[in-house]
């Protein structure tokens, strides 16, 4: 059994492989486990560093052992970083493959549905149907045009004759108006009086002059 078979719980040759969703979930679980391992190693590195500093002058052997353990933890941490990068890359590739699979599956489903929809369609029948529709639309337009035309019910008139008759009527009305105006010129107007109007009495003029002088004297006195 291969390493990936053991990791994803696969069986022998005849066993069914894991689904993409199961594989993605296992990779995520592995990432979480390694992240916890990183936290643990970082804490151990800090502890060994404190121990080395504490025994640096008192117990060099203990300080050296602490630094050695610190180096081992750092190497393990570096390995885990590389492993996490590989697992993350594999998970993303698997997620993309799973997405592409779903997209292709849906596209295939849509293609089958379109094929089923067109299964009972004949292109020749479609052309005939569209031609019939066009003919019926043209016929409907002709009928609409025929209905909208004015109908005289058999009576046809010459428009020029009608215009000539109208001109004659207008001329007759104009002649009638001219005759009425000519008749008013012969009517007798009242005579203008030949006698002159009576002149204004002299006494009234003198009274008005005296009144004017009196008003002028009053204004000067004020």
pTM of the model: 0.45
More confidently predicted of 80 and 9: 80
Q: What is the pLDDT of residues 87-107, one digit of tens each?
A: 999 999 999 998 998 999 999
> 207 falls in which pLDDT band (50, 70, 90)?
low
How many CB atoms are closer than 10 A to CB 30? Answer: 16
Rounded to the nearest 5 degrees, what angle is found at the Cα of 211, between the Cα atoms of 209 and 216?
A: 95
Angle at which helix 60-118 crosses helix 20-54, to 10 degrees, equals 160
Name the residue with higher pLDDT: 43 or 168: 43
How far is it, in rounded angstroms, from Cα 62 to Cα 87?
37
Structure-derived torsion over alpha carbons of residues 47, 52, 53, 56, reported in degrees to the nearest 10: 160
The dihedral formed by the CA atoms of 49, 55, 57 and 61, expressed in degrees to the nearest 10: -100
Which ranges constitute the DSSP H helices of 119-201?
A: 123-148, 159-185
CB atoms within 10 A of CB 94: 15
Alpha helices in the chain (DSSP H): 3-7, 20-54, 60-118, 123-148, 159-185, 202-221
The CA angle 96-101-107, to the nearest 5 degrees, is 125
Instruction: Indicate the length of the chain as a whole number.
Output: 222
Bigger pLDDT: 94 vs 119: 94
Burial of 86 (0-12, 13-18, 19+ CB in 10 A): exposed
2-49, pLDDT tens digit by residue?
Answer: 444 555 455 445 567 788 889 999 999 999 999 999 999 999 999 999
Question: What confidence score (pLDDT) does residue 14 get?
Answer: 53
User: How much is the average pLDDT of 61-69?
Assistant: 91
Q: What angle do CA 40, 42, 47 make, to 5 degrees?
A: 95
For residue 51, the SS3 value is helix
């Amino acid at each position: 059994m291969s390493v990936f078979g053991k990791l994803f719980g696969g069986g022998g040759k005849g066993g069914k492989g894991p689904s993409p969703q199961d594989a993605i979930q296992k990779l995520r679980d592995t990432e979480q486990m390694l992240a916890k391992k990183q936290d643990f190693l970082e804490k151990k590195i800090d502890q060994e560093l404190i121990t080395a500093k504490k025994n640096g002058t008192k117990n060099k052997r203990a300080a050296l052992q602490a630094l050695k353990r610190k180096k081992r933890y750092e190497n393990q941490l570096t390995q885990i970083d590389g492993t996490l990068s590989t697992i993350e890359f594999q998970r993303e590739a698997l997620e993309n493959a799973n997405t592409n699979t779903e997209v292709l599956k849906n596209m295939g489903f849509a293609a089958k549905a379109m094929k089923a929809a067109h299964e009972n369609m004949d292109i020749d029948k479609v052309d005939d149907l569209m031609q019939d529709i066009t003919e019926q639309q043209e016929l409907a337009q002709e009928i609409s045009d025929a209905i909208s035309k004015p109908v005289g019910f058999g009576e046809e008139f010459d428009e020029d004759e009608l215009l000539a008759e109208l001109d004659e009527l207008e001329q007759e009305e104009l002649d009638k108006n001219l005759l009425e105006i000519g008749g008013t010129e012969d009517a007798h107007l009242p005579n203008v009086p030949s006698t002159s109007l009576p002149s204004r009495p002299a006494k009234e003029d003198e009274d008005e002059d005296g009144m004017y002088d009196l008003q002028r004297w009053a204004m000067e006195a004020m």
